[in-house]
Structure 1
């Protein structure tokens, strides 16, 4: 199966269901959208969210599913990331620093393709791991 076919069910705009979120660290956003696009085999993720205290953040990244690790600038918290399919319904990104995975986001698609559950695990070195679960529904 080609990667484009595997990414297809994940593509589109997803709206956060704040009531369904379960955060161990911090507060879930008041609202958020996640847009996943395919650009010639590169998956582009664009996130827009309004935090619990009203702060707006926009973020995006791109990576090739099942492709090589992408090196990022030295200035950030992470220096590399990779995006892999664990299976047809689970797309996982790992953000790494110095070869260690410090953040992992597992995006799991429901059987009907209408719900995307994102489980984000943050590993704080020598401290603990936190799991934040966000539930998105496909925008109609």
Structure 2
């Protein structure tokens, strides 16, 4: 794993007030853990929805590596994770080679804020963008 991933690693806490959602209600709270697992990057997310339900999700991929096939989701079948410069880590969730969701994780200069711009493409309907601002946990 390259040193490029190191600044992204750790636990991130959602700053709900600084975030902006076009699609859906913002969660009451959320955390995201980004971990190095033997060359793979593991993302573990947990959020409390506006209705108070806890939702957990996770995925792993190799930065700048091959597309990772996904088996558990009916919506997408593959994930791609790439660096776009040193401070932007981008994932694309795909189905049949078509990108349905793109998440751009931009790290601030000081490494304390991670802004996730997630765009969802609903085929033949519209595209929606949610911007989630995370602060690094101490």
Query: In which range does the TM-score fall when normalised by the shorter chain?
Result: over 0.9
| Aligned equivalent of 1:72, options 70, 75, 82 | 70
Secondary structure, aligned partner of 2:83: strand
Residues 1:33 and 2:31 aligned together: yes
Structure 1 residue 75 displacement after superposition? 5.0
Residues 1:13 and 2:31 aligned together: no
Ranges of 4+ aligned residues in structure 1 off by more than 6 Å: none
Q: Can you list the C-alpha shifts for 1:49-81, whole angstroms capped at 9, x where unaligned? A: 000110101111000000000111175210011
Matches within 5 A, 1:55-94: 55-73=53-71, 75-94=73-92
Using the alignment, how far apart are the partners of 1:125 and 1:34 within structure 2? Answer: 28
Matches within 5 A, 1:116-127: 116-127=114-125
Secondary structure, aligned partner of 1:48: strand
Query: Over the residues paired in the alignment, what is the CA RMSD in angstroms?
Result: 1.0
Structure 2 portions without partners, runs of 5+ = none
Using the alignment, how far apart are the partners of 2:72 and 2:11 within structure 1? Answer: 30
Aligned length: 138
